[in-house]
Amino acid sequence: MSQLNLHLKVWRQNAGQPGHFQDIEAPEIPDHASFLEMMDIVNDRLISNGQEPVAFDHDCREGICGMCSMQINGVPHGPEKATTTCQLHMRKFRTGDTIWVEPFRAKAFPVIKDLVVNRGAFDRIQQAGGFISVRTGAPQDANALPIGKVVADAAMDAAACIGCGACVAACKNASAMLFVSAKAGQLNVLPQGQPEKDRRTLGMVRQMDKEGFGNCTNQYECEAACPKEISVRWITKLNRDYAVAAVKEALGNSPKVAGGGD
Amino acid sequence: MSSVFDSLSRFYASSIGKKILVALTGLVMLGFVLGHMIGNLLIFAGKDAINEYGHLLQTALHGGGVWIARIGLLAAVVLHIVATIQLTKANRAARKDAYGKHKAQVSSKSSHIMIWSGLTILAFIIYPLLHFTVRVGNDYASYQTTLHGETVHDVYRMVIAGFSWAPASIFYLIAMALLCSHLSHGFSSLFQTLGISTDKTEPLFKKAGYAFAGLIFAGNATIVLSIWLFGYGR
Amino acid sequence: MSLNSSIPSGPMAMKWSKHKQDSKLINPKNKRKFTVLVVGSGLAGSSAAATLSELGYKVKCFCFQDSPRRAHSIAAQGGINAAKNYQNDGDSVHRLFYDTVKGGDFRARESNVHRLAEVSVNIIDQCVAQGVPFAREYGGMLANRSFGGAQVSRTFYARGQTGQQLLLGAYSALNKEIAAGGVQMYPRTEMLDVVTVDGHAKGIITRNLVTGKIESHAGDAVLLCTGGYGNVFYLSTNAMGCNVTATWRAHKKGAYFANPCYTQIHPTCIPVSGDYQSKLTLMSESLRNDGRIWVPKKAADIGKTPAQIPESDRDYFLERKYPSFGNLAPRDISSRTAKEVCDEGRGVGPGGRGVFLDFAEAIGQFGQKTIAERYGNLFAMYEKITGEDGYKQPMRIYPAVHYTMGGLWVDYNLMSNLPGLHVLGEANFSDHGANRLGASALMQGLADGYFVIPTTIANYLVHQKPGSVTTEHPEFKKALENCTAQTKRFLDIKGKRSVDSFHRELGLLVWDKCGMARDRAGLTEALKRIPELREEFHNNVLVPGSGNACNPELEKAGRVADFMEFAELLCLDALNREESCGGHFRNEHQYPDGEAKRDDENFSYSAAWGYSGDFAKPELNKEPLTFEEVHLAVRSYK
């Protein structure tokens, strides 16, 4: 095991105040440590020097909870493909490197402190239709509704999204299309999701717009940054589902569909 | 009726709605760009061919055809531009604070300058419109020739005269290069926005987009270069 | 105080049906007047909050994460059991019940387990209806696999992320109810205390982790769905934020803490690589199907690379000690044996805490391609974390704490001895006895939340006057002041050591003395050292920043303070239980071959500890365990 001497440029900010980059020297970092463990070491040293540690979000540290964020050297979750920040290890860096560490930046993700941002917008988008309305106890037997393996696998591909927000952070427009399309898409491909498909699509897209995310300009940076490698084909599907739902809403029979503007 | 209008305005108000409109108007302009180039290439088929084509455009539907096309195109251009400006403004607002360091991983340079290539193309569209259609600052309107016994506008001579002047040719070539850049992202992009792309077709659309952009550039540049540098038709 | 477990009478298979019949109903109009506070938003919390809201109760749900979707249920990989018998391989509710009681080493309450097995089938129906993308066969039917040595294929799964998919299902139900206005969600909000009024749980005190504001919430009942206490060991497979605070503070308000010594160790985790290590990562146990586990025979060889150690100098210790099961010996036995060889100085890797898991033979036999097909994602995960290629050199593994079976004592209605305080999921003690079977944790969380509490809570609420207690009550003021004062105390200590350094030290101590194998001497020593460490913590911890803002160090301080107190009860319970059973192994109580030696005569009870004000002397209440259906037997893996 070898050790790294690193220069960090870390974003420091208190809610509602302007932020700035702080230069922090991080000598003698074990290369086996994860990126977050490196931050732990840095924080421990800051604390013993009487300084405030860097606040950052993290929880499971095994790449599934989606809590960790951080823009590392200009890329969400750092340079490794299909990796969350907590799964990124310091052996991927070289001694002497300068590492930029910033929060995921988007108007819809206001900074709470340092690298901690508020991703509540994602929850609100889900509340605008990211569900199947079924009461506990109501359903039929699970095997009464056969679902082909191809469809089930596709739904699972979309469902792998961990809601971390890397797609928003990577997009030059801070667009949430990859997230929204994966969430809507999982349910829109399944037979259980059909009855509410249009309502869901319109509701979630309108809420997405309301939250102040940008829109998709088809550059696919989101897909490249996604730690779960969600495909931009879900965005294709959302575009299609939205067009159909909107046309049906405009020209079809009343009553009008519900959702964001109900 | 008003509920239909409400829904349409809601459709336009949404991000995806605007994008779909951009894609559809983009598609109209793709058709125009292709048709325009093919028409202009008639210049290599001889004087009568292009003059006949020009005359046909002028007289179709008793002269109304060209106006329908012009109005349609104008609407497409205006919608395309207004929607993209609105989208761009929204996108800028969505990332209020810039990153200290930001690294694009997969997106092309062309895709990052769409609004600028688009607006520049607009400027260059206005120039040839003034140059060849409104014919400001020249006497092209007086160019006449006889076709099948009829007196018609001499498009052939006008084009030859126009591109014999170096500044016009250079302007035109720059515009074509930017159009090429714009199309290289825009072509495949519109299939994505319209919800048509699949894993299997996306690479084809991408390649087709590059080929289309290249074709448009090559076709139009050939006309300009032949006249300007090689003295075709002079 | 005597423990009334409220088990319905009648034959085992009829108890739950009878109880549902006998349970009280609340008029739909009145339901709206009741407020239920749900703490935690994992499988148990989200499913309970959503279902109670569907029934018409007003629900407030709290979680410390930034979104309810991030609760640690999300990390479960393997699957969820259900007695569907879709495979026609002889599964039934009774067999799942039997397996779970036996798997729990006869330390679970039979009636609760039977109910769990009964509702398991409804869980799958519910999840499928919500759009959970379980694995399927080509014909469109649900796929199953056999898991954790079960003889039937009853495990439903969604790739390697069943936990995330089930949680997202429950989260979607929760979202539906939030949108409908039935649930008010409080993310980034941590519970600091339970408020009791006349002996009933009537509210909680919370801290807003963004603004630092400490607030009171009154309700007619409180549901704790706050998970397990595995992070008392500091290093575990739990998320960093998992904590004992909610259950421990409830304990200090009178709720009994049952069987804390039942902790589960998972044998195939990636070992610790240095003292900066913050968490341990689990790899699927299935690796043991093809990997051979060994260490050098001689301690002198531990510095050599595996290639330098000839076959004759390798000790395949599981194959040697358990010839019939070999590398597939049960979790607890494999774990303990690995610890033993490391204790002998033969462990490999950093710190000498690791054993080799070698695929060379399997790769030789089946080819690397086949092995990659079977375990490719696990090899990739291992490579990501260690930087080593498991195909070229043996992996290193070591056991880690994974799940905790103990928790707050609850009766058949999932209500603790503190009226109004209900406890669901991993936070309670009820269903897994001394050891949890694979793919049973998800089942229990959802069973409690979707199907049990929505019925049983009425048995408590029907006797309550809705909204009778408000936050104006003096008990709220008192609790709020206490919490505010405690927060301030942490900030005022201004000592020299960081919170993490204390947590790490506590974890090492508890892992060493009360981990995989325990004995009287070690536990006694731990019980002496924990109060000393606690004392130092309260005098020398350094918590920077202020209480009126987002302050992660302050959050950690509160949690570690509670672990410091809880650790003592954990060791005390382990010391009290003079037997070995399930996840609790006392070196003094084993058969000559190393098998756990249960003492049914003296310890066939659940130990429910009451808080006495003195950590060293909690009050022991015993709930005797009787087995009507499953006959006591010795677990043998010879």
Q: What are phi and psi of C618, to 5 degrees?
A: -70, 160
- Per-residue pLDDT, A260: 42
Q: What angle do CA C607, C204, C501 make, to 5 degrees?
A: 70
- Per-residue pLDDT, C339: 92
Mean pLDDT, to the nearest integer, of C507-536?
97
Per-residue pLDDT reduced to its tens digit, C488-519? 999 999 999 999 999 999 999 999 999 999 99
pLDDT of C572 higher than 60: yes
Q: For C28-32, which contacts have Cβ atoms below 8 Å and span 24 or more sequence positions?
A: C28/C56, C30/C466, C31/C55, C31/C56, C31/C57, C32/C56, C32/C57, C32/C58
CA distance A78 to A63: 13
User: Chain A: residue nearest C386 by CA?
Assistant: A32
User: Chain B: residue nearest A211 by CA?
Assistant: B94
CA distance A10 to C362: 47
Question: Which chains sit next to B, with 3 or more Cβ pairs under 8 A?
Answer: A
Give C243's Cβ-side CA count (13 Å radius): 27
- Per-residue pLDDT, A257: 47
Contacts of A242 in chain B (CB under 8 A): 14, 16-17
Does the pTM surpass 0.90? The reply is: yes
The token duo for C84 is 């569907």
pLDDT of A261 higher than 80: no
- Per-residue pLDDT, A254: 62
Contacts of A221 in chain B (CB under 8 A): 104-107
User: Chain A: residue nearest B9 by CA?
Assistant: A250
Contacts of C67 in chain A (CB under 8 A): 119-120, 122-123, 163
Residues 6+ apart with CB under 8 A from C453: C48, C51, C52, C223, C414, C422, C424
Residue linked to tokens 């003021």: C477
Total Cβ atoms within 10 A of residue B234: 10
For residues A64 and B94, the answer to whether their CB atoms sit within 8 Å is: no
3-class DSSP assignment, residue A224: helix
The token duo for C628 is 């009507």
Question: Which chains sit next to A, with 3 or more Cβ pairs under 8 A?
Answer: B, C
- Per-residue pLDDT, C637: 57
Q: Which residues of C are catalytic?
A: 331
CA distance B151 to B61: 19
Strands C35-39, C221-224: parallel, antiparallel or unpaired by DSSP? parallel
Per-residue pLDDT reduced to its tens digit, C463-477? 999 999 999 999 999
Mean pLDDT, to the nearest integer, of B155-176?
91
For residues B181 and B124, the answer to whether their CB atoms sit within 8 Å is: no
**Which residues 79-138 on chain A approach chain C with CB closer than 8 angstroms?**
83, 87, 89, 91, 112-113, 116, 118-120, 122-123, 126-128, 130-138
Question: How does DSSP classify residue C466?
Answer: T
Contacts of B100 in chain A (CB under 8 A): 9, 11, 21, 100, 102
Least confident of A124-138, A247-261, C81-95, C376-390: A247-261
Mean pLDDT, to the nearest integer, of C435-463?
96
Per-residue pLDDT reduced to its tens digit, B178-199? 999 999 999 999 999 999 999 9
Give the CATH class of C13-264+403-461. alpha beta
Q: What are phi and psi of C38, to 5 degrees?
A: -110, 120
What's the Cα-to-Cα distance from C254 to each of C248, C608, C609, C611, C613, rounded to whole Å? Answer: 10, 11, 10, 6, 10
Give the CATH class of C266-400. alpha beta
Q: What are phi and psi of C607, to 5 degrees?
A: -90, 110
CATH 3.90.700.10 in chain C is located at: 266-400
3-class DSSP assignment, residue B194: coil
Mean pLDDT, to the nearest integer, of C324-351?
89
- Per-residue pLDDT, C282: 93
User: Chain A: residue nearest B199 by CA?
Assistant: A233
Distance in Å, alpha carbon of A220 to nearest chain C alpha carbon: 25
What's the Cα-to-Cα distance from A159 to each of A209, A247, C77, C125, rounded to whole Å? Answer: 22, 27, 14, 18
Whether the CA torsion C127, C131, C135, C139 is positive or negative: it is: positive
Per-residue pLDDT reduced to its tens digit, C386-417? 999 999 999 999 999 999 999 999 999 999 99
Superfamily of chain region A3-113: Beta-grasp domain (3.10.20.30)
User: Chain A: residue nearest C349 by CA?
Assistant: A1
Superfamily of chain region A119-251: Alpha-helical ferredoxin (1.10.1060.10)
Residue B201 pLDDT grade (very low, low, confident, very high; cuts 50, 70, 90): very high
pLDDT of B1 higher than 70: no
To the nearest 5 percent, what fractions of chain A are helix, strand and coil?
40, 15, 45
Q: What are phi and psi of A83, to 5 degrees?
A: -140, 135
pLDDT of C169 higher than 70: yes
Mean pLDDT, to the nearest integer, of C349-355?
93
Q: Is B57 exposed, middle or buried (0-12, 13-18, 19+ CB in 10 A)?
A: middle
pLDDT of C213 higher than 60: yes
Contacts of A232 in chain B (CB under 8 A): 192
Mean pLDDT, to the nearest integer, of C23-39?
96
Check if A190 contacts C (Cβ < 8 Å).
Answer: yes
- Looking at chain A, the whole-number percentage of residues with pLDDT higher than 70 is 96
Nearest CB to A140; choose among C125, C187, C549: C125
User: Chain A: residue nearest B110 by CA?
Assistant: A219
Distance in Å, alpha carbon of C566 to nearest chain A alpha carbon: 22
8 Å CB contact of C274 and A116: no
Mean pLDDT, to the nearest integer, of A192-206?
97
- Per-residue pLDDT, B58: 86
Residue B233 pLDDT grade (very low, low, confident, very high; cuts 50, 70, 90): confident
CA distance A224 to C117: 43
CA distance C466 to C219: 8
Give A109's Cβ-side CA count (13 Å radius): 28
The token duo for A13 is 């900010």
Residue C62 pLDDT grade (very low, low, confident, very high; cuts 50, 70, 90): very high
CA distance C18 to C333: 40
Among C297, C336, C272, residue whose Cα is nearest residue C508: C272
8 Å CB contact of B96 and A256: no
Mean pLDDT, to the nearest integer, of C369-386?
90
Residue C635 pLDDT grade (very low, low, confident, very high; cuts 50, 70, 90): low
- Per-residue pLDDT, B130: 85
Instruction: For chain A, give every domain's residue range.
Output: 3-113, 119-251
Distance in Å, alpha carbon of A133 to nearest chain B alpha carbon: 25
Among C117, C427, C25, residue whose Cα is nearest residue C245: C427
CATH 3.50.50.60 in chain C is located at: 13-264+403-461
Contacts of A217 in chain B (CB under 8 A): 87, 91, 111, 114, 189
Q: Which fold has domain B2-93+109-228?
A: 3 helical TM bundles of succinate and fumarate reductases (1.20.1300)
Helix (H) or strand (E) holding C119: helix C110-130
Decide which of 1.20.58.100, 3.30.70.360, 1.10.1760.20, 1.10.1040.10 is the CATH code for C474-607. Answer: 1.20.58.100
Interchain touch C–B (≥3 Cβ pairs closer than 8 Å): no
**Identity at B103, one-letter amino acid code:** K
8 Å CB contact of B99 and A256: no
Nearest CB to C172; choose among A1, A36, A130: A130
Contacts of A215 in chain B (CB under 8 A): 15-16, 18-19, 87, 90-91
- Per-residue pLDDT, A163: 98
C-alpha Rg value of chain C to the nearest Å: 24
